[in-house]
Amino acid sequence: MGNMDIYNAVSAVPGSAQKRITGGRLNGMTDINPMWRIRELTELFGPCGIGWKYKIVREWLETASTGEVGAFVDIELQYRITPDADWSEPIPGTGGSKFVAAEKGNNLRASDECYKMALTDAISVACKALGFGADIYWEAGRTKYNAAPPEQDEEYTCAQCGKTIRDGKKKDGSVWKAGDIALYAQKRYDRQLCFECLGKEIKAEKAAEKAGGLNGAI
């Protein structure tokens, strides 16, 4: 296996596994469905416990001065290329989630799923070292640990209608930035498209897939 084989196989995340974050301090970032990582790990190496596995090294709680309590998990992720190959060196990952969170009115709420969510976060961190979701992290230019990026001044032109690409509003009311629209269209259709033309392309693609499925069933 080449040095970039795993990275190249998992760097792109399908749209169905992406969700734009529209509120809070992570506003504008992209959340990746954790089950996508599990599926990709399984597809590449085999079922959990056979082709890949993780070990929980440590679980602990940290209390902040505000009264909030965070739950944290350290793991070690390992994989092997074939069932008879040696296990890889452990890949560390640390994840966290709130055990006790402050809500409006300074009311404290406890979560009985904090360690589960912290474990999911830890697996995502370990997977990132292998290149999982690299395209999203690369294009965003930031993570939840960084400050917000500068405003995008660059203009993009739609290759379909020739208009300047503007921000678009999704069905859930969230705003899709012009630069993100152009980059997404470039990756999916090999050309930059505006929000309207991109929508038409996606609809046409789905219609063609549906027609192909119907023809195959006849």
The pLDDT, as a whole number, for residue 147 is 44
**Rounded distance, CA 167 to CA 15, Å?**
18
Query: Is the domain of 132 the same as that of 155?
Result: no
Of the candidates 13, 17, 23, the one whose C-alpha atom is nearest the C-alpha of residue 183 is 13
What DSSP string runs through 75-101? EEEEE-SSTTSPPPPPEEEEEEEEEEE
Residue 170 domain boundaries:
150-218
Q: Which of 94, 113, 148 is the last residue of a domain?
A: 148
Span 169-202, pLDDT tens digits: 888 778 888 888 888 888 788 888 999 999 899 8
Span 13-25, pLDDT tens digits: 988 888 876 655 5
The pLDDT, as a whole number, for residue 152 is 46
What angle, 0 to 180 degrees and rounded to 10, lies between the N-to-C axes of helices 34-45 and 114-128? 50
Query: Is the domain of 202 the same as that of 100?
Result: no
